[in-house]
Structures are given as structure tokens and as C-alpha cells.
Amino acid sequence: MHSRLSGGKVKGVLKYCPQDFVVEEIDRDHNVVSVDGEYSYEDGCGDFLHLVMRKRNVDTISAVSCICSKLGILEMRVSYAGVKDKAAVSAQRISVYKLPFERVCSLKMKDIELFPVGRGGKVYRGDLWGNRFTVCVRDVRMSPRELAGYVNRTVERLDGVFANFFGEQRFGGVRPVTCPVGLELIRGDLSGAVEMYICRVFPGESHDISEVRKIAVSDKRKALGLFPGSYAYERMMIEHLLACEGDYYGAFMRLPFGLQKMFVSAVQSYVFNEVLRMMIGDGAVDADMEIPIVGYLYGKRILEGAADRYVERVLRRERIEPEMFRLKDIPRLSSEGCYRRAFEKFHDFEIVSVEKDDMFDGSKLVLRFSLPKGCYATVFLSEFFDFG
């Protein structure tokens, strides 16, 4: 189950290299956490050390896991406002509970840099306005002049808003496993969730890794010896199962909490995407509409909206009940649900440059724009380009 977005009209190459996709967090006061910024430490009051984390080709969850491993601390002591892309260069704020400033100064990590900036309260999830993106789209088979005209015409057509789908990052790009694992979780099948994560084969993976996953179905010990070190999550879960046979709860809990939450969120995101897709197809949605993110409180709503009959259709088709999002085995992963805008505004859009590509035969285009939190740059860009 993977909700894939339809592409745009013109083909292009996105994320050819990490520096082609720059993500800079924007705080609630609209200050940009710049990847090129110079940061200094100013002491303050509070139990949390505040840092700017700059990373390259590492997702936020893995970066936090690496930091905690280096510092020898539990991951629950680190908090951040939002998750940034892996295939990118990004900058964001994080906070670490009860960490002395001096412990960070000598920390060395590949592709991750930390800049202490002060002390204060905890940085909570969602504690940001959004993100600024600077992206390079390559190998567009148009002349630079034609490309600039095409982009400007598309911006006029959009009239300031775009369909607010969840992007493929929520589901997994090469390996869209988060939603299938999430379905097993909400159905109460922890063993199924763990086996799905370790063993499920997807077409986008390499032949060698696909073969290891097939071996893992019946021989976890052999698979452990074959999984490369970079497949840390699979290896951690297998090691636990070999040490504690049948303890799928313990194996699942070896995963970072941020990743655990993503599995349930992926199911909710899939339902939302399907509802929005159907409503757009039927012409039944407007720019100001909100669509439910289904959780365990969905069935207790007092008033029904225009989206509800579409939500019910998707839930019936996928055999999902709202109460399933109250996870009895892992209560902290339960979700009561909320609402998400069907369309969202984009801000500060500009064409930074458009010229002959130095890597491919076509043209390359550098765009800069800002999106509110929870929005996906890849979804916005799919209004212009097909990256398939």
C-alpha cells in the first residue's frame, strides 16, 4: 500500500546530489536556521542545551540516533521540531536535556555538525513555522528561456496554493514499507510488523538485499551475517530476536521512537491522500477545506463534513476501524487524529537561476520557496515536474 502522486507535465531530475536539495527550518518567529549561518553560544536559563544541527545525506531520526550513540545518552533526551529529508543538506534546531555545553564541542561525526547556541526549554515537535527550500531541478529538456516561462505560467495557474498531499518520504521512497508495517501495528500484530520490516521485499531494492530479506524469513542468524552494517535497524531487531526468541515487542522497541511513530502516521497519511485524490477527481474539494486525519476519536465526531463519505469509503476498502489507532500493546503510539488542510499556500517563491545544466544535456533550474510545517517540497514540485 503506497499512495504515489501523479507527476507533473515536464520531466526533470531532483536530488541528483544532496546539495541540490537544501532545507532550512523556519521558527515560529520566521527566523531561518541557515545552512550557511555562523552560530555562537549564548548562555541562558533552562534544562535543555539548544543546538543547530547541520547534516548532509542523513535523515533526522538517524542523525539523532548517531548523536546519542556518540554521547552515550538515551534518545528520549533529544527533541526536535520536525523531521528533515535524508537526501538533502539541512539545518534545524534540536534540544538535549541536561547536556553540558563542553560535551558537544569535541564531538566529531560524519556528515553531521552541531553548533551550541544556548540553553532554554525543550524544542517540541511542531514548534516551527515551516521550512525554506532551495532546490536544483536538473536535465529539463527545455531551453533556459522556455523553462523560465513554463515555471512562471505554472505559478500563475496555481494561484498561490497547491494540493497538500503527504509526500513519498512518509511512505518510503525505494522501500515503501512504513504503511504496511503500520497496518500490522494497528491490527495488533507485532510479530507481523517486525517480520514485515525485516523481510518484506520491494522492487526498488538491490537484488542482494532482496535475497537477504528472503533468507531472513526462515534463517535470522544467517541473514544477520549478510545484512550490511548500514542496515542497522534490521540488524538490531534480528539480534534481539536471536537473544530473546519470540520477543517481538522487544525487537520492535529497538527502533527509534521517531520511526515507530512514522508507521502509524503512514497509515493515516495514506488514507488522507486517497481521500484528497478522490475528492479532487470528483471536483468535491475547495481551497479552504480540511480533511480528517483518522484516529481513534474519528468515530466520536459530532458533525460530519463533506470529506467524511470519502473517508468512510477508504476505511471500508482497507478494512480499517478508527478504534484501531488506539494501540493497546504500545499506547504511546496511539493517535486520536486531527485535521489537515486539503490545500496549502506556498510563500516567497523565486527563480534563483536557470541555465544550461553542467551535469546533463538539458537545462537546470534553481528554485527557492517556503512552505508551512507538514508540507512536502516534493509534492509542491510535482505541480511543475515529473521526477519518475
Domain match, 116 and 134 both? no
- Burial (CB count within 10 angstroms: exposed 0-12, middle 13-18, buried 19+), residue 105: exposed
In a domain, 82, yes or no: yes
Domain end position, chosen among 257, 284, 299 = 257
Per the structure, how many domains does the chain have?
3
pLDDT in tens, 276-301: 999 999 999 998 999 999 999 998 88
pLDDT at residue 8 in the model: 52
Domain assignment of residue 209, given as a range: 178-257
CATH of the domain at 371: 3.30.70
In a domain, 267, yes or no: no
pLDDT at residue 258 in the model: 87
DSSP states of 255-314: S-HHHHHHHHHHHHHHHHHHHHHHHHHHT---TT-EEEEE-TTGGG-SS--TTHHHHHHH
pLDDT at residue 370 in the model: 98
In a domain, 313, yes or no: no
Residues of the chain with pLDDT under 70: 1-8
Domain match, 233 and 361 both? no
Domain match, 104 and 47 both? yes
Backbone angles phi, psi at 348, to 5 degrees: 50, 40
In a domain, 359, yes or no: yes
122 CB contacts (<8 Å, ≥6 apart)? Answer: 47, 48, 79, 95, 97
Domain match, 64 and 106 both? yes
**Secondary structure E strands in 98-196:** 112-120, 130-140, 161-163
Identify the bridge partners of residue 11 per DSSP, sorted by sequence position: 386
CATH of the domain at 239: 1.10.1510.30
CATH of the domain at 83: 3.30.70.3160
In a domain, 337, yes or no: no
207 CB contacts (<8 Å, ≥6 apart)? Answer: none
Domain match, 116 and 137 both? no
Q: What's the rounded Cα separation, in Å, for the pair 88 and 60? A: 11
Domain match, 114 and 134 both? no
Q: What's the rounded Cα separation, in Å, for the pair 116 and 38? A: 11
The grid cell for 90 is 539541512
Identify the bridge partners of residue 344 per DSSP, sorted by sequence position: 162
Domain match, 101 and 145 both? no
The CB-side HSE value for 179 (13 A sphere, CA atoms) comes to 25
In a domain, 213, yes or no: yes
Domain match, 101 and 150 both? no
In a domain, 53, yes or no: yes
Cβ-contact 343, 370 below 8 angstroms: no
Domain match, 43 and 114 both? yes
Domain end position, chosen among 95, 120, 145 = 120
Backbone angles phi, psi at 186, to 5 degrees: -70, -20
In a domain, 116, yes or no: yes
Domain end position, chosen among 257, 284, 302 = 257
CA end-to-end span of the chain: 18
